[in-house]
């Protein structure tokens, strides 16, 4: 690929994107309360960044049970759906495309954000002792709190989890999203099922690789059947080690899943690279093998800039590159990269929670 390939169109499923720059999913904790509803402020923020070829929304709870962080939006009530429609309409009005990332945190939660103070759920009753949940204390103080011990999901409950993903995907389509992204990465519920260290089940959802992948593949098949494979993406994070994830078969699982994603016709595969969390970097051999196993669009995310993104595209092991923090501080990141302009520095103090400050008030060129 040539050095300007980052700015050329690409088609995912049946949807053509203006360029290969993707805005990565970024939790910003600014949903309105009560109800975790997207607002006009969120619509302004996303519309400012609509020059990205694709915007992937912040991770969005498919149920209250799937919630682990206060002030994060949902997609399981009519009000949430209506709020997201305002966001998508604003992005589309600026010529952008958008994917809704569907999220169930599993054990990365605390009773303070669960309905009626229930315990979080997980594939097995193994606590994430090194991880925290973001909660609002009864006195209104926001804080990080240890993740509570989860209970293991009963086998009979798992069809309900699948149904929750399907219902969320249906709502996303009604709200106007171009895609949904199944979040099976970063230590949350679906990766907890995939990983050897967090899944100790003895039923058909635990044990060998095929069993540990069963829930994710059931989710994908059900969502594809409902909304069409051309509108479905999935995020994986091979070698990820945060959120107490231990996995002896991480790369092998990714290869197995890549073959299954081809079978299902999944439109894109979004790889969250492990380096930032301290995981073993992905090798060139792994990337080449993944490219051979999966024929859909591969996007990758992990500390790229314009130059390293061009190099990754030129290698042929990725078709699009997702950028996270650069998009926080640079609504016009595409133009800045095209022009070689300097970037605004992100203000980490305003990443989570708050108002427009550090959210929709970053300056643009000119």
Which residues are known to be catalytic?
A: 188
Bridge partners of 60?
A: 102
Contacting residues for 252 by C-beta, under 8 A, at least 6 apart: 209
- Could you give the angle at the alpha carbon of 324 between the alpha carbons of 365 and 143, nearest 5°? 115
Nearest Cα neighbor of 230 from 169, 175, 318, 160 is: 169
Q: Residues 42, 80: contact at Cβ < 8 Å?
A: no
* Beta-ladder partners of 32: 37
d(CA 50, CA 104): 26
| Pairing mode of beta strands 60-61, 98-103 | parallel
User: Is 141 in a helix, a strand, or coil?
Assistant: coil
Ranges assigned E (strand) in 24-137: 54-56, 60-61, 98-103, 121-122, 132-136
Residue with tokens 């805005």: 23
Report the DSSP beta bridge partners of residue 218. Answer: none
Nearest alpha-carbon partner for 60 in 74, 70, 71: 74
Alpha-carbon distances, residue 119 vs 74, 110, 132, 208, 312 (angstroms): 19, 7, 14, 27, 42
Distance CA 137, CA 140 (A): 5
């Amino acid at each position: 690929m040539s050095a300007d390939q980052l700015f050329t169109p690409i088609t995912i499923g049946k949807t053509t994107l203006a360029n290969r720059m993707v805005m990565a999913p970024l939790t910003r904790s600014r949903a309105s309360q009560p109800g975790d509803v997207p607002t006009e402020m969120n619509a302004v923020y996303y519309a400012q960044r609509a020059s990205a070829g694709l915007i992937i929304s912040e991770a969005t709870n498919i149920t209250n049970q799937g919630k682990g962080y206060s002030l994060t939006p949902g997609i399981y009530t009519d009000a949430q759906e209506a709020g997201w429609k305002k966001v998508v309409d604003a992005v589309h009005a600026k010529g952008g495309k958008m994917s809704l990332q569907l999220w169930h945190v599993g054990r990365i939660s605390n009773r303070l954000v669960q309905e009626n103070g229930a315990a979080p759920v997980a594939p097995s009753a193994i606590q994430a002792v090194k991880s925290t949940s973001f909660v609002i204390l009864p006195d209104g103080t926001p804080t990080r709190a240890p993740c509570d011990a989860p209970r293991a999901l009963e086998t009979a409950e798992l069809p309900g989890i699948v149904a929750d993903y399907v219902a969320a995907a249906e709502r996303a389509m009604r709200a106007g999203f171009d895609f949904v992204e199944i979040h099976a990465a970063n230590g949350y519920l679906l990766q907890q099922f995939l990983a050897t260290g967090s899944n100790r089940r003895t039923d058909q959802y635990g044990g060998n690789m095929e069993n540990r992948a069963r829930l994710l593949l059931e989710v994908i098949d059900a969502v594809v059947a409902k909304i069409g494979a051309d509108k479905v993406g999935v995020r994986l994070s091979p070698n990820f080690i945060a959120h107490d994830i231990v996995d002896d078969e991480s790369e092998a699982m990714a290869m197995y899943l890549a073959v299954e994603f081809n079978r299902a016709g999944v439109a894109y595969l979004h790889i969250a690279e492990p380096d930032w969390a301290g995981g073993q970097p992905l090798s060139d051999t792994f990337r080449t093998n993944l490219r051979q196993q999966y024929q859909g669009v591969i996007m990758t995310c992990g500390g790229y800039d314009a130059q390293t993104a061009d190099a990754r595209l030129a290698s042929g092991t990725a078709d699009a590159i997702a950028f996270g923090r650069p998009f926080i501080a640079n609504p016009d990141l595409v133009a800045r990269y095209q022009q070689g302009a300097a970037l605004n520095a992100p203000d980490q103090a305003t990443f989570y929670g708050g108002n427009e400050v550090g959210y929709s008030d970053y300056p643009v060129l000119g």
